[in-house]
Amino acid sequence: MRMPSQERWHAKVLTYSPVERLGGSSVSSSVNNPVWSRLELMGEYDTPIVSIVDDDESVRRSLGNLLASAGFRVETFASAEAFLQSAHPEQTGCLVLDLRMPGMNGLDLLRHLSGTGSRIPAIILTAHGDDEAREQSLQAGAVAFLSKPFNGKALLDAVRTALDQGGRRPG
């Protein structure tokens, strides 16, 4: 089993063009090399995405940095609607959701995904948590409910658990 840091290295190696790997300077790009393009795609898609959905840009950025530093492939979205309209729901191995957002909130998104048959493991983050919100989130399918400010190790553990439950953990 590879550790997340090894997965990051693996994906990075696969995204170099042949010219960069060989120390060259101006030969063909990976677009002109079907074998290397296939390798790039393997590096791109063999690791599930951890999708962060939060309306606060600074939270998205800090969560993204934390998860990426642990070797996870991360995408961020400013709203539940933006996540649903993206190409990433099919590739998402774990969702990290803010509970309260304008428009569709985290709980609404969980319920929507459940209604469509999607079983993406989700972690709810909130600064406004109470027992009722926790219970509703867990009933809707959340695998963890963390209060802001949260402990970084607790979030990383929750993401690993979520990916394990979804059967899509890297490594």
Q: What's 152's domain CATH number?
A: 3.40.50.2300
Q: Which two tokens stand for residue 120?
A: 């993406």
Same domain? 88 vs 159: yes
Domain-embedded: residue 152:
yes
Both 39 and 62 in one domain: the answer is: no
Q: Structural domain tally of the chain?
A: 2
* Same domain for 51 and 78: yes
Quick check: is 171 in a domain?
no
Range of the domain at 123: 47-165
Task: Report the alpha-carbon distance of residue 22 to residue 93 in Å, rounded.
Answer: 33
Residues 158 and 138 in one domain: yes
Q: Which residue has the tokens 């995408």?
A: 75
User: Is 170 within a domain?
Assistant: no
- Answer yes or no: is 154 within a domain: yes
Q: Tokens 């063909």 belong to which residue?
A: 28
Please indicate, yes or no, whether residues 2 and 13 belong to a single structural domain of this protein.
yes
Same domain, 34 and 86: no
- 127: its two tokens: 């600064």
Asked whether residue 95 is domain-assigned, the answer is: yes
Same structural domain, 42 and 58 = no
> Strand, helix or coil at 49?
strand
Prediction pTM value: 0.70
Give the CA radius of gyration of the chain.
Answer: 18
Q: Which residues of the chain have pLDDT under 50?
A: 1-44, 168-171
11 and 59 in a single domain? The answer is no
Q: What share of the chain is helix, strand, coil (3-state, %, to 5)?
A: 50, 15, 35
**DSSP secondary structure letter of residue 16:** S
Report the pLDDT value the prediction gives residue 87, as an integer from 0 to 100.
79
| 110 within domain boundaries | yes
Q: Is residue 147 part of a domain?
A: yes
Confirm whether 114 is domain-assigned: yes
The H or E element spanning position 35 is: helix 34-45
Structure tokens at 18: 């042949």
Quote the pLDDT of residue 47. Answer: 76
